[in-house]
Amino acid sequence: MLSGFKTFIARGNVVDLAVGVVMGAAFGLVVSGLVESFINPLIAWLVGKPNFDSLMFSLPPLIGEEPTVFQYGKILTAIVNFFLVSLAIYIFIIIPMNKLTASMKKKEEVEAPPAPPSEEILLLREIRDSLAVRRAAANQSDK
């Protein structure tokens, strides 16, 4: 059982995944900082509030009960932050990675040697060459 676990951990995919998780967490902090220090103030300038946490509505209280408060602003803030983080990840990671992958693929296509001819093509070339030799020999004997 322990050797199987050791083999599983030693595989490159698990290590790559671990590195990806750590890098993702670090990048998440960068994006959160960007959202909190740049995008939220921009939203505050446009809308008048940096976040929507204070938005809520309440239902009238039942007899002897407190009013029921629905703080939909916190959910709205979380949704906006999610979309902003997703947009930042798309702009700063996905687009550059797609461009890098496309350029690497083009480079591989340029560097790749042409495929060797198929067996049928080789056979047809051999037939063509033997016919050319026969034709040349026939022309020699006619002279």
User: Is there a contact between 49 and 95 (Cβ–Cβ < 8 Å)?
Assistant: no
Express each pLDDT in 120-141 by its tens digit.
Answer: 999 999 999 999 999 888 888 7
Q: Are residues 74 and 91 in the same domain?
A: yes
For residue 133, give its domain range: 116-142
Beta strands in 68-131 (DSSP E): 68-70
Q: Are residues 66 and 82 in the same domain?
A: yes
Q: Are residues 78 and 123 in the same domain?
A: no
Q: Are residues 89 and 28 in the same domain?
A: yes
Instruction: Classify 124 as helix, strand or coil.
Output: helix
Q: Are residues 70 and 58 in the same domain?
A: yes
- Angle, alpha carbons 84-88-90 (nearest 5°): 115
Give CA–CA dist 12/64, Å, rounded. Answer: 62
Contacts of 15 (CB under 8 A, 6+ apart): 9
Give CA–CA dist 56/50, Å, rounded. Answer: 16
Express each pLDDT in 36-85 by its tens digit.
Answer: 788 778 777 877 776 778 888 888 888 778 888 898 888 988 888 788 77
pLDDT of 104: 87
Give CA–CA dist 20/12, Å, rounded. Answer: 12
pLDDT of 123: 93
- Structurally, the chain folds into a number of domains equal to 2
The residue whose two tokens read 């083999």 is 7
Angle between helices 12-34 and 2-10 (to 10 degrees): 60
Q: Are residues 137 and 102 in the same domain?
A: no
Is residue 143 scored above 70 in pLDDT? no
> CATH number of the domain that 97 lies in?
1.10.1200.120
Give CA–CA dist 90/97, Å, rounded. Answer: 10
